[in-house]
Amino acid sequence: MRIGIDLGGTKTEILCLSPSGQELLRKRIPTKQGNYQDTIQSIRDLVWCAEQEIGQTGSVGVGIPGSISKKTGLVKNANSVWLIGQPFQKDLSDALDRDVRMSNDANCFALSEAVDGAGKDAQTVFGVILGTGAGGGLVIDKQVVAGVNGVAGEWGHNPMPWARGDEQPGPLCYCGLRGCIETFLCGPALAQMFETATRAQMSAKEIAGLPPDITDPFFTVYEDRLARALASVINIFDPDVIVLGGGLSNMDRWYQTVPELWSKWVFGNECDTELRKAVHGDSSGVRGAAWLWPSI
């Protein structure tokens, strides 16, 4: 049995999969925010209870909103700031009395879609999460490519390519730099663009539900930026498939308009990379965490 844990800022989810990938159990609990030891204990209890309910033990993979430094073994770049600087993988392995595999939540999303989702027929898959941020993960031959620094796929913290005049120097990003792709393509960025033009405060999800005659001007700008940003990914990784997840991935128009646009910026002016919507939706993160163990 494979056990996946998706540790989010507000919720922690557990999923148990059979060797064939069949879902055996799924539960969600509120994340123990701000307390490192409580986080470890809550995950340990989740795993223990799940194994008791099913009657078997399993491998454990965990998706986290950050990465593990290969040099120090400590968590870095985490939105859940109470994890930063902690030996989370070691401590959780000790608590569960077994090896635990751990990866960035965007990597887990990409892995899930590469194993049995939208990219299951592809050798190279780049997974993109468009939500409160703009995360990314790279999977080759159904194996996560984390990189020597643990930041492979972090496309959201590169500058917006081929920036227009009004995009420079760009908004300030939480990473401390300006003009990062994330500051243009995350959900709050779309909401801010809409509010600046209309003075109406609405979430990205609410904006998506408005009539096309209202949203077209904003979506035209957004999809142009998305096409440029993904073209830069194609120029570096040249993936077979790019899979979109997160709340903004539910806009069906992206899957037609963005591939039509990105050829302008892809080197050679032709592109066979396919843009696909995630099959498993918001379940992909926890599924990918389980698939961090490719075999039992």
Confidence at 83, pLDDT banded by 50, 70, 90: very high
Half-sphere exposure of 287 (CA within 13 A, CB side): 21
Predicted confidence at residue 65, as pLDDT, reads 85
Sign of CA dihedral 224, 136, 115, 268: positive
How far apart CA 234 and CA 240 sit, in angstroms, is 9
- Render pLDDT for 206-227 as a digit per residue (tens, 0 to 9): 999 999 999 999 999 999 999 9
pLDDT at 79 over 80: no
Instruction: Work out the end-to-end distance of the chain between its first and last CA atoms, rounded to an integer number of angstroms.
Output: 7
Say if residues 138 and 144 touch (Cβ distance below 8 Å): yes
Closest-CA residue to 104 (of 120, 88, 123, 124): 88
- Region class of 246: left (phi > 0), else alpha (psi between -120 and 50), else beta: left
pLDDT at 296 over 60: no
Question: 290 or 33: which carries more pLDDT confidence?
Answer: 290
DSSP code of residue 278: -
Q: What is the CATH number of domain 2-108+283-290?
A: 3.30.420.40
pTM: 0.90
Predicted confidence at residue 77, as pLDDT, reads 83
pLDDT at 270 over 90: no
Topology of the domain comprising 120-278? Nucleotidyltransferase; domain 5 (3.30.420)
Say if residues 8 and 32 touch (Cβ distance below 8 Å): no
Mean of the pLDDT values across residues 34-47? 94
Mean of the pLDDT values across residues 13-20? 92
Question: 81 or 288: which carries more pLDDT confidence?
Answer: 288
- Render pLDDT for 150-201 as a digit per residue (tens, 0 to 9): 889 999 999 999 999 999 999 999 888 999 999 999 999 999 999 999 999 9
Mean of the pLDDT values across residues 75-101? 93
Q: Where are the domains of the chain?
A: 2-108+283-290, 120-278
pLDDT, averaged across the chain: 93
Mean of the pLDDT values across residues 110-137? 94
